[in-house]
Amino acid sequence: MNTENIKKRIDVIISTKSTLENKLQKVCDFLKSEIDYYDWVGFYFRNGDKEELKLAQFAGEPTEHTIIPFGKGICGQVAVSNENFIVQDVSEQDNYISCGWKVKSEIVIPIFVNGKNIGQIDIDSHTVNPFTSKDEEVLEYICKEISKFL
């Protein structure tokens, strides 16, 4: 993975004059098409004052998990812990919400605005053990850049 090239392309996407929703969708579409083991890419954001996440833009198969309570599954745990969560093999995870039999691994990176966790980017892969520190670096960069528009 060429992290610098991906970051530059992300910069172009999010610097365009369009709505936040459009930018988020283009980020999802780009990541899913650019990185072959990113089979589902989506953004979840805190649902108002509720202790839950609500699905926003995504690329990949539709999911029934449009609302996720804090603490439930990988995304819900990140909403509580405020830390990155990388699961290289979901079959080894107890608190996991299955998004389909094809999903083998997941990485979730929180988005912070003024030090507050307001959302996250969620990546599902149909491959076991695909994620490296480069994935984490790129996704943290995306979350930091997206947070400037929130």
Per-residue pLDDT reduced to its tens digit, 7-57: 999 999 999 999 999 999 999 999 999 999 999 999 999 999 999 999 999
pLDDT at position 95: 87
Give, as one character, the DSSP assignment of residue 148: T
User: Domain range for residue 58?
Assistant: 3-147
CATH number of domain containing 101: 3.30.450.40
Extended beta strands in 70-126, E state: 85-87, 105-113, 116-125
pLDDT at position 19: 97
What does the block give as tokens for 23?
Answer: 């930018």
Give per-residue pLDDT as tens, 83-101.
999 999 999 998 888 777 8
Q: Output the pTM of the full model.
A: 0.97
Domain tally, the chain? 1
